[in-house]
Amino acid sequence: MAAERGQAGVELVALLPCLVLLAAALSQACIFALCAIAAERAAGAGARAAARGSSPGAAVHAVLPRALARGVTVHVGADGGVAVKLVVPRVLPLPALTVGAVER
């Protein structure tokens, strides 16, 4: 019984980095999903602006949060389609992640 004292503390210390990595991976996945939704919304706003004859780029920047609007790329096609590409903020040291959406 005396050899088992502190066993739970040792197991927690061994498991803690795994739990932190799992939480970071889940938050990165959530951020990626939210950026995909924001890209779809921004592309829709840009397409509506292009159909009305106003600036799609200004409409895209208006609907995006300031943190995402800094790394956005807007491309207007010849057919009137608006493509939006966002840089996803990173929680983990991953290569650059981007997400895009196209609306016509």
Q: Are 42 and 73 in contact (CB under 8 A)?
A: no
Looking up tokens 């927690």, which residue turns up? Answer: 12
Going residue by residue through the chain, which has 104 residues, state the pLDDT in tens, using 9 for 90 and above. 556 777 888 888 889 999 999 999 999 999 999 999 999 999 999 999 999 999 999 999 999 999 898 889 999 998 889 999 999 999 988 898 999 999 98
Instruction: Please name the residue that has the structure tokens 């050899």.
Output: 3
CA atoms within 13 A on the CB side of 92: 16
Residue with tokens 């106003």: 54
Collapsing DSSP states into helix, strand and coil, what is residue 1? Answer: coil
Query: Model confidence over 34-43: pLDDT tens digits?
Result: 999 999 999 9
> How many angstroms separate the CA atoms of 21 and 10, rounded?
18
How confident is the model at residue 70, as a pLDDT? 87
CA dihedral 11, 14, 15, 16 (to 10 degrees): 120
In degrees and rounded to multiples of 5, residue 97 shows phi and psi of -105, 135
